[in-house]
Amino acid sequence: MFFTSRRIPVRANSLWITRRFGLARRAFAMRPILAKTIVLGFILFASPAVTAEQVDVATPVRGLIELPIVVAMRNRYFATEGLEIRKIQIEPEVAVKALVAEQVDFSLAWDASLGAAISGGPIKLVAATAARPLHVLMSRPEIRSGKDLKGKTLGVDELFGTTDYLSRVAMRYLGVDPDKDVNIVETGSSALRFIELRAGSIHAAVIDAATAARAEEEGFKRLVHLGDIIDLPVFGVAVTAKKLAARREQVKKFIRATLRGARFAKQNRTDSVRIIQSYLKITSSQAAKAYVAAVGAFTDDGFVSERALALSVRRIREKDQIAAGADLAKVVDRTLLREIMADRRKIPSWLKQYDL
């Protein structure tokens, strides 16, 4: 005989199998605990060891469009990066002046920042947070289609402003000539446009997705979601060239935390709806509808397409009558986004779900 067989008792064999595979199961089950421990470790060592840097962020509006920033603040992603955020609501043009004067560290007003940059100002766009509009064209209940808008009044924030442009895009999409078929009037902010819509002073208006959710519950008609028909960045992170050169790591931390907020918002509907409801002081059903309408507009990597960026630049040049300006490469800086992406590629795939 070249070998001998040995029968292993069934009970002993079962015990060996149970122990071996039980350990494997426990090891696999420990992975979420390990990941959370690593995350906690980052928080503990990032926060107390170093005094948090206070960062002032200028935002043009308090609204749904801020969701990635708000999520990042509430989930302490900025704190994990050693940043203490102070968010300040400032008119877009004033925010640009404050940015250049170093009175704020970041501006989220995309159009105003881009306009200053292509005019030769010392500003860089370093990340987009909303790659498509979070706006909806809403009408009074009796308006059922584009043809019903002919001869009617359309409210916008200001002539040649963002909602004016988006309203014209929506009109053309619905087969209406905005220059001949409708009367466009200035009515102010999204909230004011909704008030005018209720009162019957205007027949339709482009309003933000959260206000649109409320309007629908009151019987107003949704005609078109602008994010479904046009790629156009409307919100993003701008800094001065000086700050990008001198405080590059701080800028990177801010972007990284913001993108974590965007990823969380896109991957965690229930928690995000609660945050929207709390932040905007709306009902849970309105928050849920607003989330569905808006979530697809947020970018979790900070990039927008070249086509969308070119459209944004062309629109701003036409609006501000800028005949010539800086090259696109001098206006937008994507190097930090590429660095953040490269860093994330080094994270094991099973660990990425915990969004380190």
Average the pLDDT over 189-207 and give the result: 94
Residue 51 pLDDT: 82
Task: Determine the Cα–Cα distance for residues 331 and 88; give it in Å rounded to an integer.
Answer: 24
Give me 282's structure tokens: 């709306």
Mean pLDDT of 161-188: 94
CA distances from 109 to 55, 58, 128, 237, 287 (A): 16, 8, 10, 8, 23
What phi and psi, each to the nearest 5 degrees, are found at residue 128? -100, 145
- Check residue 352 and give its pLDDT: 61
Question: In this model, does residue 241 exceed pLDDT 90?
Answer: yes
- What's the pLDDT tens digit per position in 245-290? 999 999 999 999 999 999 999 999 999 999 999 999 999 999 999 9
Reported as a single tens digit per residue, the pLDDT across 285-335 is 999 999 999 999 999 999 999 999 999 998 988 888 877 656 777 899 999
Give me 265's structure tokens: 């918002």
Task: Identify the structural domains of the chain with CATH numbers, from first to last.
Answer: 53-132+232-352 (3.40.190.10), 135-228 (3.40.190.10)
- Tokens 């199998």 correspond to 17
Per-residue pLDDT of 35-70, as tens digits, reads: 444 444 444 444 444 588 999 999 999 999 999 999
HEC profile of the chain: CCCCCCCCCHHHHHHHHHHHHHHHHHHHHHHHHHHHHHHHHHHHHHCCCCCCEEEEEEECCCCHHHHHHHHHHHCCHHHHCCEEEEEEECCHHHHHHHHHCCCCCEEEEHHHHHHHHHCCCCEEEEEEEECCCCEEEEECCCCCCHHHHCCCEEEECCCCCHHHHHHHHHHHHCCCCCCCCCEEEECCCHHHHHHHHHHCCCCEEEEEHHHHHHHHHCCCEEEEEHHHCCCCCCEEEEEEHHHHHHCHHHHHHHHHHHHHHHHHHHHCHHHHHHHHHHHHCCCHHHHHHHHHHHHHHECCCCCCCHHHHHHHHHHHHHHHCCCCCCCHHHHECCHHHHHHHHHHHCCCHHHHCCCC
Cα–Cα distances in angstroms (integers) from residue 290 to residues 60, 138, 205, in the given order: 19, 14, 17
> The dihedral of CA 160, 165, 171, 173: what is its sign?
positive
**Measured between alpha carbons, how far is 108 from 41 in angstroms, rounded to an integer?**
31
- The pLDDT tens digits for 59-102 are 999 999 999 999 999 999 999 999 999 999 999 999 999 999 99
Segment 222-242 shows an average pLDDT of: 96
Backbone phi and psi for residue 99, each to the nearest 5 degrees, phi listed first? -65, -50
User: What is the arithmetic mean of pLDDT over 164-192?
Assistant: 94
Query: Does the pLDDT of residue 111 top 60, yes or no?
Result: yes
